[in-house]
Structure 1
């Protein structure tokens, strides 16, 4: 059982978190951060904050914070709000809390990614930081039209409750010369674009030890320029277009069943991947039943 001091610190920590109903979360990662900043700036008057400064010392204890967010099952919405309380909490969240969140959600994948970093520099700090990996895990960045991918309307980003990452699927996105790299990729998140009901699949992924990957070496050797006016939606770093680099293998089209060859994906300098493809439109159930009946009649 936690001590009385620990229980008091836990209560104070929850009091500092501006919690609102999580049944209807906001639609974009930036809106959550903005709401958190507005709410925390109005949460306590200055005099009251000064009077409770000594009592708050326990809240800044990293062990206390770990207990607090472990009790919430590492709720990402609470973590976003807590990271906006103050600069110290933001630093602790980026260094420790988001790390624990990632390990709680995908322990095998994260352990493999950390192993790739340790082989390179002996540190367990991921390229881009833990907060960017956490964002990649539960946030779909949406899509918009680009030079090589034309759509009639844009689709906003949104939170995802669960995601499945697979390095077997990731091999399909690597050219043959780069098949030794390890890339974790999600299943496509289906979006219906505009009134035309155009189906677009949005996927994202992460390289293991990207700084030493063959994919990065090939991009640099080919002197592929970074895209202008295009940034990674997860770490805000520059990105390479794999279409522009002519490094998209045929296996990627087959893996996603990209309709009419409409596929594009980007890789940022920190090893995050995001992309989109047109999905094959399927007939409704009535059409399918009609086709099956006609086939039976022909067989008879």
Structure 2
């Protein structure tokens, strides 16, 4: 799965590799418990550049910067493997420790792993997937982009669950608002993640109702196939109310790993003020 990144190409990868060697050297010189010039297993090669302990210290010093994690993933396959195995997990734990701890406590988090992997979960935390026209929703194409702040709410997630599935746990982000989506509509893009989706009532309901997976839609985070909750007629009125959607114009998808992404036409500020309702 590709990550958001700036630039690219061989020249930038060479510069990143040189920068990384310098950082790794600096950390090795001062890191306790890390043996300079070697590796634990010998499989990493070189002078211990890919020692997981050293890379952990390097990215910890950078506060698990997601841009840099994405960039360093492109340096080489060995770097990419360490990013997926170690660094993305630490990024997720640093950004949303309570949410991640709760996700790990479900059936999908057995053995300290997350359904779909740590990298897609990390991307879900900092990346708005943008929007495009779908079978049930008209929208301009808006590219995905970095989100500076994200708040995920389990309480808000309840509003997106069919009434017979309210015992499931779903974390939903606040809407990323894109103004003037055409025809004077504002667009809200949101994303979320289920806890233990494999054993959830939502998944069981989709299967029992024989809802087909979408042929042309894919999860923007893990690239797996998705169900359309709109197509399955499982979007509850509470989701429309929570979003403040205009004319019930809402669409969202859930992938086989339990990642959710969706779009909604938002009521404009002036309309909200006139209604006098607390959204």
TM-score interval, smaller chain: 0.7 to 0.9
> What TM-score, normalized to structure 1?
0.77
Q: 1:34–1:211: structure 2 CA closer, same or farther, 3 Å change rule?
A: farther
Q: 1:63–1:212: structure 2 CA closer, same or farther, 3 Å change rule?
A: same
Query: What do you get for the CA RMSD once the two structures are aligned?
Result: 2.4
How far apart, in 1, do the equivalents of 2:77 and 2:88 lie? 15
SS of equivalent to 2:86: helix
Find out whether 1:92 has 2:79 as its counterpart: no
Counterpart in 2 of 1:158? 145
Query: How far did 1:121 drift?
Result: 7.0
Counterpart in 2 of 1:106? 96
Find out whether 1:272 has 2:259 as its counterpart: yes
- After alignment, is 94-103 or 193-202 more displaced? 193-202
Query: How far did 1:246 drift?
Result: 1.2
SS of equivalent to 1:283: helix
How far apart, in 1, do the equivalents of 2:9 and 2:150 lie? 25
Are the aligned partners of 1:36 and 1:80 in contact in 2 as well (CA < 8 Å)? Answer: no
Unaligned runs of 5+ in 2: 19-24, 26-36, 39-45, 275-279
How far apart, in 1, do the equivalents of 2:215 and 2:3 lie? 22
Task: Please identify the structure whose Cα radius of gyration is greater.
Answer: 1
How far apart, in 1, do the equivalents of 2:179 and 2:17 lie? 43
Counterpart in 2 of 1:7? none
Q: 1:215–1:144: structure 2 CA closer, same or farther, 3 Å change rule?
A: same
How far apart, in 2, do the equivalents of 1:103 and 1:274 lie? 21
The count of aligned residue pairs is: 248
Q: 1:181–1:63: structure 2 CA closer, same or farther, 3 Å change rule?
A: same
SS of equivalent to 2:253: strand
Q: 1:33–1:92: structure 2 CA closer, same or farther, 3 Å change rule?
A: farther
> What TM-score, normalized to structure 2?
0.82
Query: How far did 1:57 drift?
Result: 2.4
Are the aligned partners of 1:36 and 1:81 in contact in 2 as well (CA < 8 Å)? Answer: no
Counterpart in 2 of 1:125? 113
Find out whether 1:32 has 2:22 as its counterpart: no
